[in-house]
A and B are shown apart, each in its own frame.
Chain A
Amino acid sequence: MSESGEVLVAEGVTAGYGGPPIIEDVRFTAHAGKLTAIVGPNGAGKSTFMKVVAGLIRPSRGKVTLKGEDVTGVPAQLLVRKGVSYVPQVANVFPSLTVMENLEMGGYALRSGVKERAEELCEMFPDLRLALRRPARTLSGGQRTMLAIARGLMLSPSALLLDEPTAGLAPRFVDAVWDQVLKVRDMGVAVVIVEQNTRRTLSYADWAHVLALGRNRLEGTGADLLNDEEVVNLYIGKA
């Protein structure tokens, strides 16, 4: 464990999809028990950066460390065993499997204790207990997101990466998802979140990195950035 609870650290990360780089020289830190947000206007490269940290894209330059260990380019299926869990924005549950089976899939790497861990998560997400035998496709959008998050927690990760968990949800579900996200943080997990609703995200975030056009532009506590005029300028583009 490195000092001051640093779980994930990225330095000088440059990455893209074969064409011009989408993100350039991006740095980032996420701490245990803190909610770290990545915000920024459309096209900032937030999701691309998240995919690098999750091991889904190999960066062309830069370094990602997990508790001090270099994990740059380690693919997602290995990274998840090391304690980095990624919840994508879409296709994040198996629709034809039941809620319980989805949780079991999330715990595939556990040698034992799958049922017990699923039981713990049902304590945390009471909605899921009521639906354990139902196929995931019958869940509401909000419940589906809860299931995806719960599944991501099956391996008790040290970092949970959430890509726009509230996108497309009805307002009451948005509140419920945020409540759960904060609970996960309070359990000591380093929660990293990418969201579109910037102000709402900043109001919850312990620390936030603002990206624009693929680069770091600002960082600070959510509360400070919420009142920073520069954030508005980044979104409504000052040349």
Chain B
Amino acid sequence: MSEQARVILEVKGVTKHFGGVRAVTDLSFDIREHEVVGLIGPNGAGKSTAVNVISGFSAPDAGVIRFDGTEIQGWPAHNVAARGLVRTFQSAREWARLTVMDNMLIAANQEGRDTVWKALFARRALKAAEERDRVRARDLLRQFDLYALRDEYAGNLSGGQKRLLEFARVAMMAPRMVLWDEPLAGVNPRLQGNILNAIKSLNQSGITMMLIEHNLPFVESACDRNVVMAEGTNIAVGLMPELRQNRAVIDAYLGEVAANV
């Protein structure tokens, strides 16, 4: 990451409460273009709520979320995704009854292909676009070691293969930025190296990323820097070695010592 890279995602004073539960309170951080940033913190820190609010799956009570210069807080998820900010889920969400290849084609950018006019009068252009998608899908499936499985139903893949398909689908969507929600969940530890390579290769293709993951050694190898959350807000930003020395971070992870002993 260069010092001059511009901010692509700005989160400022974001708050989300559920009844009396203060899930996220006054959360603020910036992410620069092409960065991979870890969002870490102890259980219950509010990380998943933060991802839900940023990706449009729930609306914040207060605060500003600016993506690529536009305020997107409160936008529905599909509009946020159309803008180029997509998220994944703790359990990979594939179309189980479609083939791996069809899963890829569905993920392709459908913009401008869905009018009746085009269907009737621009068939050749449409056909050419589909063929381009197919070629790209094949390339990506090769890159993610799924090419041999292209005609298999996605529902038959292993946990790790489903996760790799999710990565390939994200690459197919060609978003500006991805929010990964626990990409190692359900993945056999032996496949962690493949997941790490997939993250790096997507990042090298120019995609900015934020990564929520409780396996911190993995986060350390994948991320340029980390935002630490505790009790709903950001308490520190930095590299892992600095964070390990940070009093507030240690207290957040290990709790305070009992006063009455």
Residues of A within 8 A of B (CB): 19-20, 41-43, 175, 178, 196-201, 203-204, 213, 226, 231-233, 235-239
- Asked whether B244 lies within 8 Å of A204 as measured between CB atoms, the reply is no
Instruction: State how many residues of chain B have any CB contact under 8 Å with chain A.
Output: 28
Known: A175-B260, A233-B244, A237-B240. A198 touches B254 (CB 8 A): yes
- Asked whether A237 lies within 8 Å of B188 as measured between CB atoms, the reply is no
27 sample A-B contacts, Cβ–Cβ < 8 Å, listed by A number? A19-B159, A20-B159, A20-B186, A20-B187, A20-B189, A42-B42, A42-B214, A196-B44, A197-B256, A198-B253, A198-B254, A199-B255, A200-B255, A200-B257, A201-B255, A203-B258, A203-B261, A213-B215, A226-B257, A232-B250, A232-B254, A236-B216, A236-B243, A238-B240, A238-B244, A239-B217, A239-B221
Q: Which A residues lie within 8 Å of B253 (CB)? A: 41, 198, 232, 235-236
Q: Which B residues lie within 8 Å of A235 (CB)? A: 250, 253-254
CB distance from B41 to the nearest CB of A (A): 9
Residues of B within 8 A of A (CB): 42-44, 159, 186-189, 214-217, 219-221, 240, 243-244, 249-250, 253-258, 260-261
Known: A19-B159, A43-B215. A236 touches B256 (CB 8 A): no
Known: A19-B186, A196-B43. A204 touches B249 (CB 8 A): no
Q: How far is the CA of A27 from the CA of B76 in the complex (A)?
A: 48
CB distance from A57 to the nearest CB of B (A): 18
Q: How far is the CA of A239 from the CA of B188 in the complex (A)?
A: 18
Among A200, A232, A237, max chain B CB count under 10 A is at: A237
- Asked whether B189 lies within 8 Å of A199 as measured between CB atoms, the reply is no
Q: Which A residues lie within 8 Å of B256 (CB)? A: 197, 199-200
7 other A-B residue contacts (CB within 8 Å) besides A41-B42, A236-B244, A238-B244: A20-B186, A43-B215, A203-B261, A235-B254, A236-B249, A237-B216, A238-B240
Q: How far is the CA of A198 from the CA of B216 in the complex (A)?
A: 17
Q: Which B residues lie within 8 Å of A203 (CB)? A: 257-258, 261
Q: How far is the CA of A201 from the CA of B256 in the complex (A)?
A: 10
Q: Which B residues lie within 8 Å of A204 (CB)? A: 258, 261
* Candidates B215, B250, B260; contact of A237 at CB < 8 Å: B215
Known: A197-B255, A198-B255, A226-B257. A41 touches B244 (CB 8 A): no
Q: How far is the CA of A41 from the CA of B250 in the complex (A)?
A: 12
Q: Which B residues lie within 8 Å of A231 (CB)? A: 254
CB distance from B260 to the nearest CB of A (A): 6
Residue of A nearest to B42 (CB): A42
Q: How far is the CA of A232 from the CA of B249 in the complex (A)?
A: 10
Among A196, A204, A231, A233, max chain B CB count under 10 A is at: A196
CB distance from A64 to the nearest CB of B (A): 24
CB distance from A196 to the nearest CB of B (A): 6
Q: Which A residues lie within 8 Å of B249 (CB)? A: 236
